[in-house]
Structure 1
């Protein structure tokens, strides 16, 4: 009897030791995460393209996990990297240009720098994968998922549990409507009618995604473009005040995007759409930077020209040292720290204005 008890005591000690030494990794909240967007979330899809819109060189990625340039337009992580971690994935979601085999089952990042809702958007910068092109790439992924899982029913059941993040529209203003020297849209459309055109095209692509299995959508509003170093360099008298002629069209677009979310929730009851108010969170950071640990809101950590607002980082150009104090990494894109704040507020809303109607954590658990 004594030998039996001694044996079980040893087993119990071993279990406790192993339990303390090795933590069991929980499964992600959702099986996969699909990402559509532009340079704010591109993680390498433009690296192999003939494009000016690339970030596969130092100092981009200087604070990334590796650290090395990966094609992310940041000193470190993008918002979707943070959200992937919050969802419980061990790794960041791979770029479509790099993914292969069963890797696609955890999701794919289709985002492409300079991409827009309209196909011509960003063409002055070279090659890019437009929203419609990203959706076509997703359809190719779906056919692979069907092959891996064995049939369309299994694939449909799998995909309906995934989160789909879409964040487009910024370039349709920055690299289209606000560039009359390259594009005629500002002469063809009023601000209001241009937003309507974008929303109609956006809706068409979302319906395609829905027809191919997507059911949980997080639609990210356009950020406060008029507060970027690029906008400040162009149109701010004091170099600090956000430029309203850029921000007003973005707010009009975002209001229509929010309305579309409510309409789609009514029209497609077996799907769930939510609006992510990136504009509002960003404005809050700009208005009260010290609350978030920032000291510089009107200049880029890395860039050329007035406050780094004329161009993105040049290859090999040393960035600022105090990167966590800067809201903007380059002329257009937030720092890793700013991205992290925006992503966390998207995932777990702090106020009712952060999202409409639910945050990504709630969406994922539906």
Structure 2
């Protein structure tokens, strides 16, 4: 191909890319996305620590372009979907692997089995609890200061980023409702326990705020009582969700939504939203066919009743019709479910999906 032909080809490619991005080469809607949480969004932080809570083997990641990265799904997680919708052209790296200028796009600190309380998940081995994740973020902030040259520039930059926090599931799953390992359910009523969790959660949010965070997306706990694991262990018919677990989850969620109001009123320049993951999942469970699901009570991959007594084993063959399953394994949603939750978190389809507004609006503020 002669030079003029190459030149025309390059121009054509640039034009096509520009059209795909709405007329201009798109920049992300926010400069960076920082992610805190547990196995629902962990993308590799547990890979190299002594823990049973790992997913860096097939068939995990069977539908993900990079294979088994450590994500507890067959494909993308909810924050992967949100990152795409925010305009990021690549996935946010895990803290364990994030290096150099890469951290300016954001970092994922999430750790499988982690909770708000430090003891949560200890029976599974190593994990990085919420406090540890916030401490790791502090280390990142110092690196951002070094890259940008001074604290003022770093503070201005970080104030525009979104901080996604989705933690608390394990404080029920791998703590409160595991009485053989933990005494919390004997020490506290569900109301008292939720108060305790919110108190600790609040302190960590304030620590993030003190290190530059201003835009927070707080993700509520989903319906743990409807997971294949809960159904396998506690449901008489293997289909009816476990009410006492879901009731406790809703107590926590109500208090978390209240925390959003409180901090929005009392924290200068902070903007917090609440994502109603519980309500979104309720829609998927109550009207599965409307969303393309045919199986809501069993994992696509797993062992035992409901494929929910043990998570997916290395090399195990999963179901073929993965897009029709709500759950990938005993605890975690499929990419199909994560995609719906991520999209409705970013752009609310119902007024109850996000409060007081959705992630798209948060990015604009």
TM-score, reference length from structure 1: 0.95
Q: Is 1:320 the counterpart of 2:322 in the alignment?
A: no
Aligned residue number for residue 347 of structure 1: 346
* Structure 1 gap segments, 5+ residues each: 1-9
The Cα RMSD (Å) is 1.5
Aligned residue number for residue 142 of structure 1: 141
Matches within 5 A, 1:14-163: 17=12, 19-23=14-18, 24-66=24-66, 68-163=67-162
CA pair 321-17 structure 1, distance change in 2 beyond 3 A:
closer
CA distance in 1, matches of 2:136, 2:11: 48
CA distance in 2, matches of 1:105, 1:330: 33
CA distance in 2, matches of 1:307, 1:164: 35
CA distance in 1, matches of 2:336, 2:17: 30
CA pair 26-308 structure 1, distance change in 2 beyond 3 A:
same
List per-residue Cα deviations over 1:246-304 (Å, max 9, x = no partner): 10000000000000010000011311000000000001100000000000001100000
CA pair 153-314 structure 1, distance change in 2 beyond 3 A:
same
Deviates more, 1:22-31 or 1:348-357: 22-31
Superposed displacement of residue 49, structure 1: 0.8
Aligned residue number for residue 337 of structure 2: 338
Aligned residue number for residue 231 of structure 2: 232
Superposed displacement of residue 25, structure 1: 2.6
Larger Rg: 1
CA pair 102-246 structure 1, distance change in 2 beyond 3 A:
same
CA distance in 1, matches of 2:9, 2:283: 52
State the SS of the aligned residue for 2:238.
Answer: coil
* Structure 2 gap segments, 5+ residues each: 19-23
CA pair 19-151 structure 1, distance change in 2 beyond 3 A:
closer
Aligned residues: 355
Superposed displacement of residue 346, structure 1: 0.2
Q: Is 1:269 the counterpart of 2:268 in the alignment?
A: yes
Aligned residue number for residue 21 of structure 2: none
State the SS of the aligned residue for 2:163.
Answer: strand
Superposed displacement of residue 17, structure 1: 4.0
CA distance in 2, matches of 1:122, 1:74: 19
Superposed displacement of residue 22, structure 1: 4.2
State the SS of the aligned residue for 1:316.
Answer: coil
State the SS of the aligned residue for 2:272.
Answer: strand
TM-score, reference length from structure 2: 0.95
8 Å contact kept, 2:17–2:25 = no
Superposed displacement of residue 322, structure 1: 0.3
Superposed displacement of residue 235, structure 1: 1.3
State the SS of the aligned residue for 2:315.
Answer: coil
CA pair 210-311 structure 1, distance change in 2 beyond 3 A:
same
CA distance in 2, matches of 1:22, 1:231: 46
State the SS of the aligned residue for 1:344.
Answer: helix
